[in-house]
Structure 1
Amino acid sequence: MRLRRLFTAAALVGASLGPSVHAQDHPQAEAQALELLKRGIGFRTVAGPGNQTPAYAAYLKQVLVAGGFAERDVEIVPMGDTAYLVARYRGTGKARGGAKPLLISGHMDVVEAKPADWTRDPFTAVIENGYVYGRGATDMKYDLSTMVATLIDLKRTGFTPGRDIVLLLSGDEETMMRTAAAQAERFADAELLLNIDGGGGRLDEAGKPLTFGVDGAEKTYADYELTFTNPGGHSSAPRKDNAIYALAHALAKIEGYAFPGQVNEITRASWSAAAAQAEPARAAMIRRFLANQSDPDALAALRAEPGLVGQTGTTCVATMVTAGHATNALPQRATANINCRIFPGTPVEEVRKTLKRAVGDPALTIRTLDSGSIASPASPLRPDVMKAVSDAVHARFPGVPVVPAMTSGASDSMWFRAKGVPSYAVSPKFMKDSDDFSHGLNERTPVSEIAPSITYYRSLLTALAR
């Protein structure tokens, strides 16, 4: 369900950086992470008949217990055809500033993959030319495997956190996200959540690092059904009140409507980083937008680019139309789906009312569809999180910009943010855009990311869980 690739405005301008610093070796953890990934891809954790998410959770529990977790500290909770997993790495209870748990979030499920469409079997891990191929190789069994291997490695090497680290693996992030909602309800008293399903670094096509994003906010996903109805009749006697024409006029008005420009702490930081490195004309437009979100020229310039429009505020677009019931009859019903990505802090119902006003036709009905998403506020820019992430990233790539980002949604983080738990997506993977096939055919990730990912996770967890 979630949009895998992050947006960081700074990534649009890039950076010239030096070579990577070699990661510290953790050979046991690296070997275990690769084995976990290969085994994990083999579980068909797809919603519906034959869903193997519960079996995958059982496998992970076996690995965690064998790696030093107490049996009582690894729990699998069934929910429908799926399940979620909770694994608690117990601390001393003497954490700085209090002993509330540090949550680590990820998901075990993947989107569907049809073997007939793939070059390789999507549910059999294949290592080829330095890549691991398979459904979940990027989203997100790679990060899940490296995190589990890191936690076991921390136990192996004697690390005792000041507060509990709680690994939360949901089982339906790609569909209705009910397991994450249940987890957020259960752990609403947590102090911080790190989501390993999002964020991360971008490389240019030559392999040089451009930027690293920390997702601190996400837009709310919402679908609205627009409907016009009338009695219909024979097509040989057309009338003015045609449901299809009415819908077409309504869609044209929605197409012409522009939601107001908006910024928050996360997007302001991201835009500011972009302006600092952008070419002069673009930098000027970014700064004008930051100074005045109603500036028409700045809004027009930024919204003309698909990679930028979503960062300027709420967006809505028609995605499906259904109308009529026979080729020789006047339509009795015409409907359209409007998909919106709503800026944090804007209620879903407010957007529905805005669409209704934009159309201005009393015959139109608009209802909000159940999308499994909820509104959530942006998380504050916490200095401790940004420093811990920056330290871990710069140990590998000194000087790479670490920039807060807002995604177009949706991830499990929204459920925790809605409960007041600050949440940040912090995956360590650096990838080229040309290597990202999340949710697509022949999904792959470079095997070479395993070693630096483990080093990064060790740095991050030991910094934030003491």
Structure 2
Amino acid sequence: MLRSRWLALPLLIINLSATAQTNSIESEHAQKTLEIYRNIVEVDTSKTKGNTLRVAQYLGDQLIDAGFASEDVRVIPKDDFGVLIATYRGDNSSGKKPILLLGHLDVVEALQEDWVRPPFKLTQDDVNFYARGTIDNKFGVAQLTGTMIRLKKEGFVPDRDLILAFSGDEESGMITTRMMAYEMPELVEAEYALNSDSGGGSLTADGRAIDYSLQAAEKTFATWEITVRNPGGHSSRPRDDNAIYELASGIKAIEAHRFPVMWSEMTLSYFQQVGDKLGGELGDAMVRFAYDPEDEEAAARLRTEPSYVGTTRTTCVVTMLEAGHAENALPQSATATVNCRIFPGVSVADIEAELRSVVGNAEAEFVLLGDPTESPISEIRADVLAAVGHAVHSRYPGLDLIAYMSSGGTDGMHFRKAGVPTFGVGSIFMNPDEKFAHGLNERVPVKAFYDALDHWSIIIRDLTGS
């Protein structure tokens, strides 16, 4: 049986019935967390609105009202964004370095005319809450902030400092993240970070728990603009060389291209364990891939699954187009934005070279946007695994915890690069097919919200309690 070295660590045996706390919808903690959730979800914090500073200030005020010293709550503007850094003071009895608790305040854009429900109004039915950010990442921000308020009111004193660090532009340039990770040494002195923006549990359509995934690595996020230029001319005088057509040929080539299958010890272990739990045709493909990643049929089957294809290879997809300047003119330029999620260990330069070869147009211009960050894998810690296991098993006894590599990018990449081991230990349990983060009609199960209320409290008490 294939096992990862990360997953062989022992879990503590804990009397869950003695430590698990029950939260009703009417409890003070539940009501306060829902109030915070509603208030921050209903502020449009997409990159063009400049509202993350407003949300950071609101959250800071909530913490101060709960008993945080004003000097321990910092709201910091950075360009058009804002961050919140709040320190929950411990007694330092352990002599250990602080623990960072990560989240982000911004969301991707959402157009009201495209949504069935208003994207920046928290609505619900019998099953779900709906709004942009209900999952990504205002769920984690609200749960963490609510937990800090709860612990403060209960008089809990950790044996070291806890530092909330909420960034303001994780979904765009990560300017604020870079500031925190590379310009604020007091943050990167932390022993490790726990990220609310990744990790979490998977449920089947009928609500059966499959596993809990603990993020220990993520792919490199890189975006190129590929531009084809042409002298253009009058649309009544078509010519064989047309910038849009030439770019379209390159786009179709990217669509058809398959980057090579790749794997690590962690991803193989992930597929073996998830496949055993999932069963069926897809589960069988996972297990076969785990034991033989060169099984082309198994790899091809996994490629058809949006939730899992990113774990098997580098992916590049065209996400935006811009072309032409007038309806009666031949296009003088056409640009495609291509976003890639690169498997750890593969350089950005190598992927650009492969894309150039795939597009096959020597005149096409490639512009790499931003500064892609290649980050290492964080080795799983026994204490973190045990604490997260306690929180998970309070809801789903005996459920497997599986280390995984995220195909999406988070603030964690910068903290890992800065030398802070970072683990995604989010509190959501839901069906992966129901996740619409970044998409239309983003939602989260109401049950998942209330079931998550003890998650962070259990983890923090286990890691920093006496």
TM superposition score normalised by structure 2: 0.83
Residue identity matched to 2:353: K
Aligned pairs (5 A) from 1:135-154: 135-154=132-151
Residues of 2 paired with 1:117 and 1:243: CA distance? 30
- 1:174 pairs, out of 167, 171, 179, with 171
* Shift of residue 220, structure 1, vs aligned partner: 2.0
**Residue 108 of structure 2 corresponds to which residue in structure 1?**
111
For the 8 Å contact 1:102–1:465, the answer to whether it is kept is: no
Aligned pairs (5 A) from 1:4-83: 24-25=21-22, 27-49=27-49, 51-83=50-82
For the 8 Å contact 1:247–1:335, the answer to whether it is kept is: yes
Q: Secondary structure at the match of 1:310?
A: helix
Change (3 A) 1:360 1:67: same
**Residue 263 of structure 1 corresponds to which residue in structure 2?**
263
Aligned pairs (5 A) from 1:90-239: 90-95=89-94, 99-115=96-112, 118=115, 121-126=118-123, 128-129=125-126, 131-185=128-182, 186=184, 187-231=187-231
For the 8 Å contact 1:136–1:142, the answer to whether it is kept is: yes
**Residue 15 of structure 1 corresponds to which residue in structure 2?**
none
Q: Provide Cα deviations, 1:340-383, integer angstroms capped at 9, x if missing partner.
A: 1111232222210122234455333322123x752222322333
Residue identity matched to 2:149: I
Change (3 A) 1:362 1:275: same
Q: Provide Cα deviations, 1:296-324, integer angstroms capped at 9, x if missing partner.
A: 44433433444432211111233445556
Residues of 2 paired with 1:351 and 1:110: CA distance? 28
How many residue pairs match? The answer is 443
Change (3 A) 1:226 1:292: farther
Residues of 2 paired with 1:43 and 1:252: CA distance? 38
**Residue 383 of structure 1 corresponds to which residue in structure 2?**
382
For the 8 Å contact 1:147–1:454, the answer to whether it is kept is: no
Residues of 1 paired with 2:236 and 2:253: CA distance? 29
Q: Taking CA–CA contacts closer than 8 Å with sequence separation of 6 or more, which of the two structures ends up with the larger relative contact order?
A: 1
Residues of 2 paired with 1:278 and 1:208: CA distance? 10
| Structure 1, unpaired ranges of 5+ | 1-19
Residues of 2 paired with 1:125 and 1:234: CA distance? 50
Residues of 1 paired with 2:369 and 2:312: CA distance? 24
Change (3 A) 1:45 1:266: same
Residues of 2 paired with 1:75 and 1:300: CA distance? 49
For the 8 Å contact 1:33–1:148, the answer to whether it is kept is: yes
Change (3 A) 1:401 1:116: same
Residues of 1 paired with 2:364 and 2:226: CA distance? 7
* Shift of residue 167, structure 1, vs aligned partner: 0.4
* Shift of residue 134, structure 1, vs aligned partner: 3.7
| Structure 2, unpaired ranges of 5+ | 1-15
**Residue 348 of structure 1 corresponds to which residue in structure 2?**
348
For the 8 Å contact 1:188–1:419, the answer to whether it is kept is: yes
* Shift of residue 94, structure 1, vs aligned partner: 3.6
**Residue 404 of structure 1 corresponds to which residue in structure 2?**
403
The answer to which of 234-243 and 266-275 deviates more is 234-243
For the 8 Å contact 1:345–1:376, the answer to whether it is kept is: no
Residues of 2 paired with 1:89 and 1:247: CA distance? 53
Residue identity matched to 2:423: Y
* Shift of residue 189, structure 1, vs aligned partner: 2.4
Residue identity matched to 2:137: M
Q: Provide Cα deviations, 1:258-306, integer angstroms capped at 9, x if missing partner.
A: 3222122431221121343455876665455445544544433433444
Change (3 A) 1:334 1:139: closer
The answer to which of 437-446 and 262-271 deviates more is 437-446
Residue identity matched to 2:401: V
Change (3 A) 1:175 1:257: closer
**Residue 7 of structure 2 corresponds to which residue in structure 1?**
none
For the 8 Å contact 2:220–2:344, the answer to whether it is kept is: yes
Residue identity matched to 1:459: I
Q: Provide Cα deviations, 1:167-212, integer angstroms capped at 9, x if missing partner.
A: 0111122222211221112222222111112221233333222222
Q: Secondary structure at the match of 2:460?
A: helix
Residues of 2 paired with 1:388 and 1:381: CA distance? 12
For the 8 Å contact 1:264–1:378, the answer to whether it is kept is: no
* Shift of residue 77, structure 1, vs aligned partner: 0.5
Residues of 2 paired with 1:444 and 1:232: CA distance? 45
Change (3 A) 1:137 1:403: same
Change (3 A) 1:398 1:223: same
The answer to which of 188-197 and 258-267 deviates more is 258-267
* Shift of residue 149, structure 1, vs aligned partner: 1.9
**Residue 85 of structure 1 corresponds to which residue in structure 2?**
84
Q: Provide Cα deviations, 1:111-132, integer angstroms capped at 9, x if missing partner.
A: 3344555555444444553654
Residues of 2 paired with 1:262 and 1:172: CA distance? 30
**Residue 4 of structure 2 corresponds to which residue in structure 1?**
none
For the 8 Å contact 2:199–2:215, the answer to whether it is kept is: yes
The answer to which of 155-164 and 356-365 deviates more is 356-365
The answer to which of 318-327 and 410-419 deviates more is 318-327
Q: Secondary structure at the match of 2:308?
A: helix
Residues of 2 paired with 1:448 and 1:302: CA distance? 30
Residue identity matched to 1:148: T
**Residue 299 of structure 2 corresponds to which residue in structure 1?**
299
**Residue 11 of structure 1 corresponds to which residue in structure 2?**
none
For the 8 Å contact 1:125–1:132, the answer to whether it is kept is: yes
* Shift of residue 103, structure 1, vs aligned partner: 0.4
Residues of 1 paired with 2:213 and 2:275: CA distance? 16
Residues of 2 paired with 1:233 and 1:34: CA distance? 58
Change (3 A) 1:274 1:235: same
The answer to which of 435-444 and 202-211 deviates more is 435-444
**Residue 458 of structure 2 corresponds to which residue in structure 1?**
459
**Residue 6 of structure 2 corresponds to which residue in structure 1?**
none
* Shift of residue 75, structure 1, vs aligned partner: 0.6
Change (3 A) 1:67 1:300: same
For the 8 Å contact 1:265–1:380, the answer to whether it is kept is: no
Change (3 A) 1:282 1:104: same
* Shift of residue 143, structure 1, vs aligned partner: 2.5
